[in-house]
Amino acid sequence: MKQLMEAKHLRLAVLASGRGSNFDAICEAIDKKVLDAEISVLISDNPNAPALQKAAARGIEALHINPREFAGRDDYEAVLVRELRARNADLVILAGYMRLVGKVFLSAFENRVLNIHPALLPSFQGLHAQQQALDYGVRISGCTVHIVDEGMDTGPIILQKEVPVYDTDNEETLSERILLEEHQIYQQALQLIAEGRVWIEGRRVFIQKQSGEA
């Protein structure tokens, strides 16, 4: 079994393509000192991502890197890696980042890229996970924090939280209810890593109990 990271104050880098509410929730957890971390940079592939403005408003460096300016994914990711290394990022947090991450990126940050997904994986991978859950008719959906591998939403699971699905739900109402839990479990997973309590063996992730914890 391998420790994901020794206990430390985390230097995070965030990749986001859109709204940035998970980014905001992580910033608030840091401000409230429930998460022992700092965010060194937010990078977006989308020049119009509200997340860029949110980062700038918080005084966090906000960078747009346009994937279309590169010959292919490997070249784009090589630049991402260079920028993240230049800022000594311990962990890369995907927060609504709408691209698959490839070999170049993952080999530079093995087991150090995290994602949040709005369903209980391995159910409902990919886009519109909340609508997929409604269409399937599950009574319980939720969200998952996982380590990123080359697949789409397939990496080892760190934390999950269930959310009930109501008869009256539509994609919007279910998404809102799941989002509230996303904001909680992402920061919780990060704090567990900051405390050095996350261990991994194969696909299985183990959370070390605190002394006195049952």
Min dist. Cβ of residue 17 to ligand GRF (A): 7
Which of 16, 194 has the CB closer to ligand GRF? 16
Which of 179, 198 has the CB closer to ligand GRF? 179
Q: Is 146 a catalytic residue?
A: no
Residue ranges that bind ligand GRF, judged by CB under 6 A: 16, 18-22, 95-96, 116-118, 179, 182
Q: Taking a C-beta distance cutoff of 8 angstroms, is the pair 22, 95 a contact?
A: yes
Min dist. Cβ of residue 196 to ligand GRF (A): 26
> What is the b/e burial string over 20-40, where b = at least 16 CB atoms within 10 angstroms of the residue's CB?
bbbbbbbbebbeeeebbbebb
Which of 114, 193 has the CB closer to ligand GRF? 114
Q: Which of 52, 47, 42 is nearest to 14 (CA)?
A: 42
Which of 118, 155 has the CB closer to ligand GRF? 118
Please name the helix (run of DSSP H) or strand (run of DSSP E) that holds residue 38, with its range, or none.
Answer: strand 37-44
Catalytic residue (one of 9, 64, 117, 183):
117
Say whether 67 sits in a helix, a strand or coil.
Answer: helix
In sequence order, which residues have a C-beta less than 8 Å from that of residue 103 and are 6 or more positions away? Answer: 74, 150
Min dist. Cβ of residue 90 to ligand GRF (A): 20
Which of 1, 127 has the CB closer to ligand GRF? 127
Q: Name the packing angle between helices 50-57 and 21-31 (round to 10°).
A: 20
Q: Taking a C-beta distance cutoff of 8 angstroms, is the pair 41, 65 a contact?
A: no
CA pseudo-torsion sign 118, 122, 123, 125: positive
Min dist. Cβ of residue 6 to ligand GRF (A): 28
Return the residue matching tokens 């080359």. Answer: 150
Q: Taking a C-beta distance cutoff of 8 angstroms, is the pair 144, 107 a contact?
A: no
- 61, two tokens: 């460096």
Which residues are tagged catalytic? 117
